Amino acid sequence: MTDAAASDPIVTCDACPVLCRIRPGKTGACDRYGNRDGRLVRLDPVVLTAAAGDATALVPFLAGGEWDGGVVGAPPVFVTGIGSGTTYPDYKPAPFIVASEHDGVDMVTVVTEGIFSYCGVKVKIDTDRFVGPEQAAVRCAGEQVGHVTTAEYGSQMLALGGVRHLTGGSKQEGNATCQAMLALCNKQPVELTVDGGAALTVQAGAPPVIDGVREQRMRVGCGSAAIGMFARQWLGHADEVIVVDDHITGVLTEHQAGRFLGMTPAGIRVRGRRSTPGRYFQVAEPGSGWGGTDVTDPLAIIERIDPKIARPGLRLLMVSTTGEDAAFFVLDEALEPVPHAMPAPLAAVVARIGENCEPALASVLFMAGAGGSLRAGVTENPVRLTRSVRDALTRVTSGGAPVYVWPGGGITYMVDVAAMPDDAFGYVPTPALVAPIEFTLRLDDYRALGGHMDQVRRLEDVARAVARDDRVRLASAGDNPWPLVPRR
Ligand code: SF4
């Protein structure tokens, strides 16, 4: 990769289509490669993970920079793609093809960094609060970087990135998308806004911040589920309980759970569309109020109180699906709900709803498709790698973390960035994200699928080489399954 004229101190990096010409002591546009004494070098350390509990045991190897990469007698290590370099352009084998032994079985791991134009990020935000209408644009630094997608149980979902935003729009849109994904994948906080919705701060593994409010609780269930779970505990302490929820608001005495307990309708009719007995849709607009609605006064969802059924002295509890909002009323002679202090038995159940909520978190899944360069870096006949993954002969990991490979064609995978070592992702200015990927299989199977056998190196040799080059970082594999265990 050094320029043809030996006297030219500039080196040309061909690790991505940008083809940076890098002067001595300088780095390329992505800061991942540099010119060190006329040599093109990958600047970040290669990350080796150690089996759970072993990372600290490995630290003494590195103390004082004295580790020579020796792994014999040491805890098992796994070479990840982080900092490994890339296969681009497609004719190159993967930078590290590492042979090692697991329980007497010869294994091989093909290690590389993928450059992904086709990639995205799915963000799960544990909240009922309204973040924005489905399909609304999600922006970062004013540029659209994705959209609000289908909500899940107790969580709002964002789909960010993707090739259309990376390369299909303006240069600013592509750069904003790339930087937002990069930060999210490297577990950093990112500020987003939703058209017609909220301002968000999301970070993998941290509580989301919605319009400046740090979310605390993920709801125990929808309003109907909450009615079912706690009906028996309310019995005898309230004549009616309404659980306010943007999805399904539950009304105890009409609900199957109340009827099962012998309760009779209390004559309090809530707004919205009745789905099935005691279950109401659309009692209010979505918002940041009670149960993900825009309601701040719970009585606003009561359409009418039937004088033929309701009676003075009727005890009414209204509560949200997280228990964060609750109020107790007693009907007066005119059948008007009058606020009263919450009786202790009801307060205890409200507290129990809160206790049953899980901490609200934002989760970030990176999703990408392993394409041509990547697969050609593993084998001379790339489709065989796809088949091998499909046949469960080859395990795919990202930074040593397990991935989910989608059914159907190609190797389209998702990985939880929280399970990966820190700073596992990079970028190139095309723009595209750079992510580690490893393929692990039996050495025999690798030979059979046309692997680059002449490039296979022993783990000890790879570890020594990166340690000698001062290019190694150790990380714990955490709770991840050990990738070298054969799949069959
Ligand atoms: S952007 Fe980075 S990977 Fe691409 S050519 Fe420049 S230094 Fe190499």
Ligand 1 pocket, residue 1 CB under 6 Å: no
The atom number, within ligand 1, closest to the CA of 22 reads 7
Ligand 1 pocket, residue 19 CB under 6 Å: yes
Predicted local distance difference test score (pLDDT) of residue 373? 73
Predicted local distance difference test score (pLDDT) of residue 7? 60
Distance CA 475, CA 421 (A): 6
CA–CA–CA angle 60, 64, 65 (5° rounding): 90
Predicted local distance difference test score (pLDDT) of residue 92? 87
Distance CA 395, CA 264 (A): 58
Question: Under a CB-based contact definition with an 8 Å cutoff, are residues 375 and 384 in contact?
Answer: no
Distance CA 67, CA 74 (A): 11
- Testing ligand 1's pocket by substitution, the residue of 33, 86, 116 carrying the most ligand atoms inside 8 A of its CB is 33
Question: Under a CB-based contact definition with an 8 Å cutoff, are residues 126 and 362 in contact?
Answer: yes
Q: Give 338: exposed, middle or buried? Use CB within 10 Å, 0-12, 13-18, 19+.
A: exposed
Predicted local distance difference test score (pLDDT) of residue 486? 81
Q: Where are the alpha helices (DSSP H) in 117-170?
A: 163-167
Cis peptide before 75 (omega within 30 of 0): no
Dig out the tokens for 206 from the structure: 């941290």
Ligand 1 pocket, residue 15 CB under 6 Å: yes
C-alpha distances (whole Å) from 400 to each of 81, 82, 152 are 8, 9, 28
Predicted local distance difference test score (pLDDT) of residue 67? 57
CA of 43 to the centre of ligand 1 (A): 11
pLDDT in tens, the chain (488 residues): 444 445 668 999 999 999 999 999 999 999 999 999 999 999 999 999 987 655 445 444 444 445 566 665 566 899 999 999 988 877 789 999 999 999 899 999 999 999 999 999 999 999 989 999 999 999 999 999 999 999 999 999 999 999 999 999 999 999 999 999 999 999 999 999 999 999 999 999 999 999 999 999 998 899 999 999 999 999 999 999 999 999 999 999 999 999 999 999 999 999 999 999 999 999 999 999 999 999 999 999 999 999 999 999 999 999 999 999 999 999 999 999 999 999 999 999 999 999 999 999 999 999 999 887 788 999 999 999 999 999 999 999 999 999 999 999 999 999 999 999 999 999 999 999 999 999 999 999 999 999 999 999 999 999 988 888 888 998 988 899 999 988 76
Which residue minimizes the CA distance to atom 4 of ligand 1?
16
First-to-last C-alpha distance (Å) of the chain: 40
Distance CA 324, CA 244 (A): 11
Ligand 1 pocket, residue 16 CB under 6 Å: yes
Ligand 1 pocket, residue 208 CB under 6 Å: no
C-alpha distances (whole Å) from 409 to each of 223, 227, 368, 423 are 40, 44, 13, 30
Predicted local distance difference test score (pLDDT) of residue 429? 95
The atom number, within ligand 1, closest to the CA of 19 reads 5
Q: Where are the beta strands (DSSP E) in 80-195?
A: 96-102, 105-116, 119-126, 137-140, 143-152, 155-161, 190-194
Q: Which of 126, 125, 130, 151 is nearest to 286 (CA)?
A: 130
